[in-house]
Amino acid sequence: KQWYQRRVAITAGNADIVLDMCTLTGAQGITTGQHHAALLSNNAQWESCAVSAGLSSGDMLFPIVYAPELHFSEFKSSVADMKNSVANRSNAQSSCAGLFIGSHLFDDFSKPSPIVWLHIDMAYPVHVGERATGWGPALLLTLFGRYSTSGLLSNIAPVLPVDQASKRPKHDEMC
């Protein structure tokens, strides 16, 4: 019921983008290492924006495979709607874990979603030993601060410059 309420809140609230951040799996550290969080998205443009925001803020991200058509079968169950762990531990565990979260937000991965979804697994960058690093807030400010109704947040949010190498548009124009 709780997942259903979240899905209704997303659609009834007319959300354009949903971002979930969690310390979901130890597989994130194997996939992207200690300094980069894993990023899973259903939208290449926002994926690129998030990576740029990570580079600018210092809270770095690296994209992982988004292929629900290949990974969603990992959750098949003969007794439940779906299992909460993968069947094959060598099949992109971080991507599968993100899809598990996404499956509770969206009904059908086979159709394009009108809602942009970003999943960030930050299990390793958020700590060094037993100490927290403070990873995350700078990324969120860089990515979303200028859209805030808070004057303070929108005024201090950085504007990302044009990438001279790829001639990509400014972050503001993309996201």
Please state the pTM of the whole predicted model. 0.75
Distance of CA 45 to the CA centre of its chain: 13
pLDDT per residue of the chain (175 residues) written in tens, 0 to 9: 444 555 555 655 667 888 888 887 777 787 888 999 999 888 889 999 999 999 999 999 999 877 766 656 666 666 756 656 665 555 666 666 667 666 667 666 566 677 788 989 898 999 999 999 999 999 999 998 888 888 888 888 887 654 444 444 444 455 6
Do the Cβ atoms of 174 and 81 come closer than 8 Å? no
What pLDDT was estimated at residue 28?
77
Residues in a beta bridge with 63: 39
